[in-house]
Amino acid sequence: LAEKKAREEAIAAEIAKAEAEAKALAEKKAKEEAIAAEIAKAEAEAKALAEKKAKAETAAKKESTSKIVMTPEEAAAVEKIRKRGAYEFYRGNYKAALPFYFEVLKHKRDAESFEMVGIIFEKLNKLPDAYEAYEHAFELGLTTKKNVINLGLIGEKIGKYEKAQKYLEMAIDKDPVRADVVMSYARILDKQGEFKAAGEVLAILRDSTTSYAIKKAAEAEYLKMKKKHEQAVATGAAVD
């Protein structure tokens, strides 16, 4: 009887020990989760602060640009330089036109001049430079359909998929049935592992147009994506 009692007490002690360890482990886990939550909160706040600072810097840059004051004589001289650049541009002398627009930007950093620089770089097939110029124009307020389309299409070509997706979404809001924009958007979704979403975008384009050529182009784009996706699935590389 004494031995039985001793065994029961030993078992009870083991149970109590296990319960204490489980409680300690649960408390430790709760503390770790609380710390992780605090870290995540701090990171989110830091990110929000960084974004707020970036927006404030962009706004300050725009404001300082808009406050550039030139005398009438200086403004006339800058416009004369701009006209010389335009003259060379419309003659097809793109390399000759570029320095004139660079000179204008030294005195007046305006969206229209950056857009012209972007157009010239694009014609010279210097796409990263064209993209940068178009983005400067966008930051200075040029949010036209033409500019966001340029940013989206060139962004796809140079691999800036996340930014290009944002610009193409803006472009589609402005013109939801422009085929090259919608297909570029679908390709970007596919390149980022969203094959199904890309297929849905192409299906909407195919079903919403009366153009036989666009329908065939959308179908061909989808079949190309599908083949690539199936190959990726077969090799275990697909993410969607």
pLDDT digits 0-9 by tens, 128-149: 999 999 999 999 999 999 999 9
For the cut 60, the answer to whether the pLDDT of residue 189 exceeds it is yes
- What pLDDT is attached to residue 61? 63
For the cut 70, the answer to whether the pLDDT of residue 66 exceeds it is no
For the cut 80, the answer to whether the pLDDT of residue 106 exceeds it is yes
For the cut 70, the answer to whether the pLDDT of residue 49 exceeds it is yes
pLDDT digits 0-9 by tens, 75-86: 899 999 999 999
For the cut 60, the answer to whether the pLDDT of residue 15 exceeds it is yes
The model's pTM: 0.69
H or E segment and range at residue 67? none
For the cut 60, the answer to whether the pLDDT of residue 125 exceeds it is yes
For the cut 90, the answer to whether the pLDDT of residue 53 exceeds it is no
Closest CA to 131 of 112, 118, 115: 118
Instruction: Give the confidence band of 37 by pLDDT, cuts at 50, 70, 90.
Output: confident
The number of beta carbons lying within 10 Å of the beta carbon of residue 137 is 24
Please give the share of the chain, as a percent, with pLDDT higher than 70.
94
Closest CA to 114 of 156, 185, 61, 172: 61
